[in-house]
Amino acid sequence: MTKDLTAGSPMRLIAGFALPTLFGMLFQQLYNMVDAMIVGKLLGSAALAAVGATGSVNFFVIGFCMGVCSGFAIPVAQRMGAGEASKMRRYAANAAWLSIIFALVLTVLTGLLCRQILTVMLTPADIFEDARSYIFVIFMGIPATFLYNLLAGIIRSLGDSKTPVYFLALSSMLNIILDFLLILGFDAGVAGAAIATVASQGVSGLACLLYMRKKYPVLRMTREEWRFDLHTCGVLCAMGIPMGLQYSITAIGSIVLQSSVNALGSLYVAAVAAGSKVYQLLACPFDAMGATMATYCGQNVGACKLDRLGRGIRACTLLGLGYSVIALGAMLRLAPQCALMFLDSGEPEAAALMEATTRYILIQSVFFFPLALVNIVRFSIQGMGFSPFAILAGVLEMAARTGVGMVLVPAFGYTAACFASPAAWVCADLFLIPASAACIARLRRLYPNVSDTPSARQIPLRAGAHR
């Protein structure tokens, strides 16, 4: 059930690992797309704007949770690559203890501060209550977010990128059924869409847990391995917290930008919400490449096969370039049709909404290759064990989005908002590309006698020791 990414063609291994991961992320995005489509079609553009107005703060909190879980999985991948099963299980167990603590604290804090956050973000009054109802339910589902993302991250660290996809497929169907049931059958409004998302993710997490207990003998832990260990938790936090903060710091810029878009009115809020759903779906391959490179680099650093790091990054970059060209070509022809999936053509402002949404989609598509590099290189650096660099990249993204939101959007309006994320991606790349080369060079200085040979696997490398 596990897969070794430390031997064989990097291109073949990365493509083979990324494909199932991509399907999983497509199913995950299906949650959000179905919510937006059903809300936009059945409840109208105001309800869609309410969901969209919470997007940046949703990313701020949920992105932190996902980043932390991804970071917790890196020491697991490193110990898997090193062939140290007992240490790998100890990291997995302590990641579970930490996830429980993080989930409880975040759920309480976000639940108490939900209304204040939306007020600070200048959420329009006509969509405020719907926005609060939606994001409050999402925040109450933080434990489900931790459950699925931690377990899926551990499974991928073992080299199995297929299993999480099966449970997400099941949950996607459940999400669709619950959306219609709660919105149409029980008239639950936007809160019903949020409940469907949380419940579906909880089901996928529980399914992963039950499957892991039955099918992964390598994860069967002793009482000693289950013990809470401060040193192990310190290594996990050193990996996980910077990755979580990277998402949250990036999201601060998105919150500033969202506040600027909110000030333009609910029409543009709805356009960004609809356009973002299309962009997030198109960006799934880049997310899959990033997740793949975190596992690939983690296993190869654990096995001390440093020569394979640069080869893997170059191979994945070629994949990213090819997909970016294909996606841009598709959107040049199909962007208006994609926008129409989320909009009711019978609404009075339908034409203006469709034009604004199409503009947003096309501008994002032009800059897909810089986005590909952000994901590939950043996650590669994290897989090598240099998670703090993720914070610096996040700061650059935050600065770019904040600058556009505070300066350019008030001056130039909606079109400036469409260029905010591309500006953030380019700024992050200017740092990440030389940083990745520096990280590989540092590993070579620390381990000068390591080569890409079978005997390299026998050289110990303690997770986090090179940070």
Give the pLDDT mean for 412-416. 89
Averaged pLDDT for residues 377-382: 90
Rounded distance between C-alpha atoms, residue 157 and residue 88, angstroms: 10
Is 312 buried (19+), middle (13-18) or exposed (0-12) by CB count in 10 A?
buried
Residue 2 — pLDDT band, cuts 50, 70, 90? low
Q: What is the pLDDT of residues 240-250, one digit of tens each?
A: 888 888 777 77
Over residues 126-135, mean pLDDT:
89
* pLDDT for residue 348: 64
Fill in the DSSP letter of residue 186: S
Q: What are phi and psi of 341, to 5 degrees?
A: -60, -25
12-16, 193-197, 276-280, 408-412: which has the minimum mean pLDDT?
276-280
Look up residue 448 and give its amino acid. Answer: P
Stretch 230-255: mean pLDDT, rounded? 83
* Structure token pair of residue 156: 């991928």
- What does the pLDDT average to over 363-376? 94
Distance CA 388, CA 240 (A): 10
The pLDDT of residue 457 is 42
Q: Which two tokens stand for residue 398?
A: 């935050």
Maximum Cα–Cα distance for the chain, whole Å? Answer: 69
- Determine the pLDDT at residue 363: 93
Q: How many helices (H) and strands (E) does the chain have?
A: 19, 0
What mean pLDDT comes out for the span 441-454? Answer: 70
Q: What is the pLDDT of residue 455?
A: 41
Q: What is the DSSP string of 147-158?
A: HHHHHHHHHHHT
What are the boundaries of each domain within the chain?
Answer: 10-458
| pLDDT over threshold 90, residue 110 | yes
Single out the residue of 131, 242, 275, 141 nearest to residue 195, CA to CA.
141
Q: What's the pLDDT tens digit per position in 290-345?
A: 888 988 988 888 888 888 999 999 999 999 999 999 999 999 988 888 877 766 66
> What does the pLDDT look like over 39-91, one tens digit per residue?
777 777 778 778 877 877 888 888 899 889 988 988 887 787 777 888 889 99
Cα–Cα distance, 272 to 267 (Å, whole number): 9
Q: Work out the mean pLDDT of the chain and round it to a whole number.
A: 84
Q: Which of 58-62, 254-258, 361-365 has the highest mean pLDDT?
A: 361-365
Query: What are the DSSP calls for 76-143, one per residue?
Result: HHHHHHHT-HHHHHHHHHHHHHHHHHHHHHHHHHHHHHHHHHHHHTT--GGGHHHHHHHHHHHHHTHH
Q: How confident is the model at residue 101 (pLDDT cuts 50, 70, 90)?
A: very high
In whole angstroms, what is the distance from residue 104 CA to residue 99 CA? 9
Question: What is the predicted pLDDT for the residue at 243?
Answer: 80
What lies within 8 Å, CB to CB, of 287 at 6+ separation is 25, 375
Q: What is the pLDDT of residue 450?
A: 56
Looking at the chain, the whole-number percentage of residues with pLDDT higher than 90 is 28
Choice between 256 and 93, residue whose per-residue pLDDT is larger: 93
The Cα 115–Cα 128 span in angstroms is 9
pLDDT for position 465: 43
219 DSSP assignment:
G
Candidates 44, 98, 2, 13; CA nearest to 305 is: 13
Chain-centroid distance of CA 83 in Å reads: 28
Identify the band that residue 26 occupies on the pLDDT scale cut at 50, 70 and 90. Answer: confident
Quote the DSSP letter at residue 454.
G
Measured CA to CA, the distance from residue 155 to residue 7 in angstroms comes to 19
How far is the CA of 237 from the CAs of 85, 303, 373, 443, in angstroms? 20, 22, 26, 21
Decide: 88 and 263 in contact? Cβ < 8 Å: no
Q: Give every CB contact of residue 139 below 8 A, 6+ residues apart in sequence.
A: 61, 106, 107, 110, 111, 114
Of the ranges 41-50, 88-97, 127-136, 212-221, which one carries the lowest mean pLDDT score?
41-50
Other C-beta atoms lying within 10 Å of the C-beta of residue 256? 20
Asked if residues 279 and 364 have their Cβ atoms less than 8 Å apart, the reply is yes
HSE (side-chain half, CA atoms, 13 Å) at 448:
1
Amino acid at 7: A
pLDDT of amino acid 344: 60
First to last CA, the chain: 31
